[in-house]
Chains A and B, each alone.
Chain A
Amino acid sequence: MIEVLLQYTFMRHALYSGLIIGLIAPLLGVFLVVRRMSMIADALSHVTLTGIAFTLLLAKYFLFFQEMNPMYMGVAFAIAGALLIDRLRQSYRFYQELPIPVILSVGIGLSVVFISLANGFNADLYGYLFGSIIAITRSDLILIQVIGALVVVIIILFYKELFALSFDDEHAQVSGIPRRWINLIFILLAALVIASAMRIVGVLLVSAMITLPVAAALRIAKSFKQCLFYAILFGQCSVLVGLYVAYLYDLAPGGTIVVTACLIWSGVLVGQRLFKTMSV
């Protein structure tokens, strides 16, 4: 199967970038889910779209932006959105979830305004909404590789601190962990992962790549390390199987990857139930 896929450059790009996202999205997703912050993925992916729409608008007036990869502006907007959410969470200490729907809807509102100011809806934009893994360019792939390496290295370096803060952030702070800094690094990582995953599965499906493999892993993991392992395993399987099936039957790759992840998740749930009934 792999040989068939790798004959084409676009399939190679799709496979490599898909596997990187299938690694970093669930890896970060585990931390987001256990901290009950998974909704942040949705908010930041919509803000990423705002950045992309903004580039399309600028491209109408400035030649420079026609040459620029819209992903760069998407990443920049996601980072700004992440910082804003972080800031707002400080000011609404008792309504910490409130900034998320606010940023989400402002993000989509601004996107629509920018799109209408540009030339209206076009095929490019459709790709950003639902993913366009087979349209991944060399510059997209390089960006995804850089982000992937950065995310993995930072999570390994700060694994202890991220674990302690996720489990009990008050205790982590009392034991001398620099809570503010680590949380800031974490939310910036989230922005990077989400902005890059968006290219693969699209704005509307990003949170599926972050949460579905984790939802399945949570059911069977006996420890935190196991949870990370299973989430990444399910993420990789979803990308490989989803991409292959999409290629075979000419389906939308982003959607097929998400549906595969969903099937793995339901498989785990059903399998667990069967196992329980049999062992009774």
Chain B
Amino acid sequence: MSSGQPIVKLENVSFQYDAKRKVLNQINLNIYPGDFLALLGPNGSGKSTLIKLILGLLAPQQGKIYLFGEEQSRFKAWSKIGYVSQKANSFNTGFPATVYEVVASGLFGKAGLFRRLKRKDRETIIKTIQRVGLEHVIHQPIGQLSGGQQQRVFIARALVSQPKLLILDEPLVGVDAESTQRVLELLLTLNGEDGITLLWVSHDIGAVTSNVKQVACLNKTLFFHGDTEQFVNHRKEILAQMYGYDVEIIEHAH
């Protein structure tokens, strides 16, 4: 597998929203530079919770999280991590902001308080918008865009701070065919050419495994973490274990 120091390291991480129900139990997971990892699991398996823990939106009751070798509580370089949330699909479409304004907001945290964006920042914003293929709608209100275009705006917002790790929570849900194709191509170039580490959260096994390098299967605990090839060869056993019963995989044609 990959080498070097892990950029995300979870050590015995457990989390629960209330006393009765453990959402995540004893998770150990390393993500290495250059990985393209799919985090798979059924709805309610704790995938989004795991992401929120990595991002510091939630704090684990047990265990430790390290980001880029630093303990999470001391980690400050949040612009190294880009995040495309699932919620992006249900934001306030009446918000009066252009594609440019939304993508620019991805740089605000990196720029810091009391600092305005400079000319170089503006160039980066425009280049990032070109990268997701939306330069023709750059000054349009985001509410007027299609669902797939909006999702590309959110990917651009995550990319504009030039992160080393990009986390995408179900980025293809509610996205049309054209945008799906564009997003997939973009993710492959980001990982292949730019060397950005990708963590792709999905419940759709077929769509993901044809593109990613590694797979992790989660259902409250981690059932598998390894190369995609290994996963595909032992898919039936892994999934049976994860769901607790035999499942038939319905193949998607891709």
Contact = CB atoms under 8 A, between A and B. Distances in A.
Q: Interface of chain A, helix or strand or loop or mixed? A: helix
Interface in A211-229: 217-218, 221-227
B94 to A, nearest CB: 7
Contacts of B76: 176
B245 interface: no
B83 interface: yes
A250 interface: no
B141 interface: yes
Interface stretch (B21-29, B66-74, B107-115, B172-180): B107-115
Contact of A223 (B57, B79, B97): B97
B110 A176 contact: yes
B43 interface: no
Nearest to A175: B109
A223 to B, nearest CB: 4
A160 B105 contact: yes
A160 B108 contact: yes
A174 B96 contact: no
B74 to A, nearest CB: 14
A30 to B, nearest CB: 8
B96 A173 contact: no
A7 to B, nearest CB: 41
A161 interface: yes
Contact of B110 (A175, A222, A223, A227): A175
Contacts of B79: 175-176
A163 B55 contact: no
Interface residues of B, number: 35
Interface stretch (B84-92, B122-130, B224-232): B84-92
A175 B161 contact: yes
Nearest to B56: A174
Given A34-B95, A174-B57, A164 B109 contact: yes
Contacts of B117: 160
B91 A168 contact: yes
A170 B161 contact: no
Contacts of B97: 163, 167, 223-224
A87 interface: no
B6 to A, nearest CB: 20
Contacts of B108: 160-161, 163-164, 172, 175, 177
A168 B94 CA distance: 13
A225 B102 CA distance: 12
Contacts of B87: 168, 170
B243 interface: no
Contacts of A170: 57, 85, 87
B2 to A, nearest CB: 24
A2 interface: no
A176 B96 contact: no
A163 B96 CA distance: 11
A174 B92 contact: no
Contacts of A226: 96
A157 interface: yes
B101 A163 contact: yes
B203 interface: no
A167 B98 contact: no
Given A167-B91, A218-B94, 9 more contacts: A157-B113, A163-B97, A164-B108, A170-B85, A174-B57, A175-B78, A176-B79, A178-B113, A223-B98
9 contacts: A34-B92, A157-B113, A164-B109, A170-B57, A172-B105, A174-B78, A175-B110, A176-B79, A225-B101
Interface of A: 34, 36, 157-158, 160-161, 163-164, 166-168, 170-178, 217-218, 221-227
9 residue pairs, one from A and one from B, having the closest CB atoms: A175-B109, A176-B109, A176-B78, A160-B108, A227-B96, A164-B105, A223-B98, A221-B96, A224-B97
